[in-house]
Amino acid sequence: MMPKKSARSSDADQLKGLQNSFAALAVQDEQLVEEQHDENGTADATDNTTQSSRSPVVDELRAQILELGALPRGNRQDLQKQLRKLQKARKAEEELTEKARHVQNIKDQQDRVARIERGWTDQDFARSDEVAEALRQRMKLELQNPDSDDNSGFVRQPYRYYCVFDVEATCEKDGGRDFPHEIIEFPVVLIDARTLEIVDHFREYVKPRISPILSEFCTTLTGITQDLVDVAEPFETVLHHFEMWMVNFMPYPFEDALFICDGPWDIRDFVRKQCTISKLFPPPYFHQFINLRRKYQLFYNRTKCNLSQMLAGLEMRFEGREHCGLDDSRNIARIALRMMNDGCYMSPNYDSTAKKANASLQSLRWYEIGETTKSINAQRG
């Protein structure tokens, strides 16, 4: 009896083994089917330009989606949803681009009118356009030869040129912050950030408009005498001369140049006040600048300091006459060059268009300027 039982057990084991083998083969077949399905799906998604479906509508949907720069996925309903979403996004992008173009055109027109008010002629516009074209050609060459003008020992600065700027303005001994300062000296020292050298400077005196007679305090402080401002041009003419000088280096609006000042006052207060008095829009190149005092304090980890203290901290001495705009600008330029050599990245750290920057000028109105001028003239007798 025992041999019969052993035979039955052996048959059962063989049958169970065959069942397991059949089950394993079935799993393998299912995996192969799934892999083949995935391959076909990928081919449909990535090669829709060569494969066509049975429905011309689906083919058209796929073609439109491809034209919009996306890969078509899914069935007909999925493709329709995908196409509507892409078309909506494209329309929003086009509307935003058109709006930005319209705003830029308005700004360009306003800027052109502002430049004409400052004395720009057709020849000036043509000259600026020629410089712009020459700059584009130069940039193409630099892109083709990126290492041709590389100074490996210097930190690559974000701007090619830096305009060091320190104006002198009309003043009274106790004039205070609300005094209607007018610029009487407009100096700029130009730094080439590629060579870390001073390459040129600009300087003109300016005839004041509402306070044409300089106070004794102003002459003593600045060294600017009455005869210098009497023969000078008004601010808008001097600004035009400056812009024509800058065109020798780059086209208007001088996007590859940044102003550097000893504090925020020269541009935030004096330039903006002067533009208000002269009824001019502040040019765009004055919108952002470097407050060198703040940059110096952060870079060298120093406390608040003035121009003389910054020079002393770098073991330098003031050269020239203090409160002479050009001499002040030259000394500020010396500090800026030293900071660049020490590895300081000279990016803008002040925006004169910000609300905080405008707060000090909110009280400046034409009638207040007139009233202030009357009181000054009355005090002088």
Q: How high is the mean pLDDT in each 10-residue block of the chain (381 residues)?
A: 49 62 55 48 45 76 89 88 90 89 87 90 91 82 63 76 98 84 97 96 97 95 97 97 96 95 95 94 94 96 93 96 97 97 94 61 41 46 46
Distances (CA, A) of 309 to 302, 316, 317: 10, 9, 9
Query: What pLDDT, on a 0 to 100 scale, did the predictor assign at position 358?
Result: 52
| Residues near 90 by beta carbon (within 8 Å), at least 6 away in sequence | 68
Distances (CA, A) of 124 to 115, 176, 252, 324: 10, 39, 10, 30
In whole angstroms, give the CA distance from residue 212 to residue 184: 10
In whole angstroms, give the CA distance from residue 116 to residue 122: 9
Kindly report the pTM of this predicted structure: 0.70
Query: What pLDDT, on a 0 to 100 scale, did the predictor assign at position 27?
Result: 52
Nearest to 135 by CA among 253, 290, 285, 239: 253
Structure tokens at 95: 């509307």
Segment holding 163, helix H or strand E: strand 161-165
Length of the chain: 381
Query: What pLDDT, on a 0 to 100 scale, did the predictor assign at position 140?
Result: 76
In whole angstroms, give the CA distance from residue 161 to residue 150: 15
Please tell me what DSSP assigns to residue 342. Answer: T
Structure tokens at 279: 């009824």
Query: What pLDDT, on a 0 to 100 scale, did the predictor assign at position 203?
Result: 98
CA dihedral defined by 304, 306, 311, 315, rounded to 10 degrees?
Answer: -50
Burial class (CB in 10 A: 0-12, 13-18, 19+), 228: middle
Contact 339, 299 (CB under 8 A): yes
Query: What pLDDT, on a 0 to 100 scale, did the predictor assign at position 56?
Result: 87
Active site residues: 168, 323
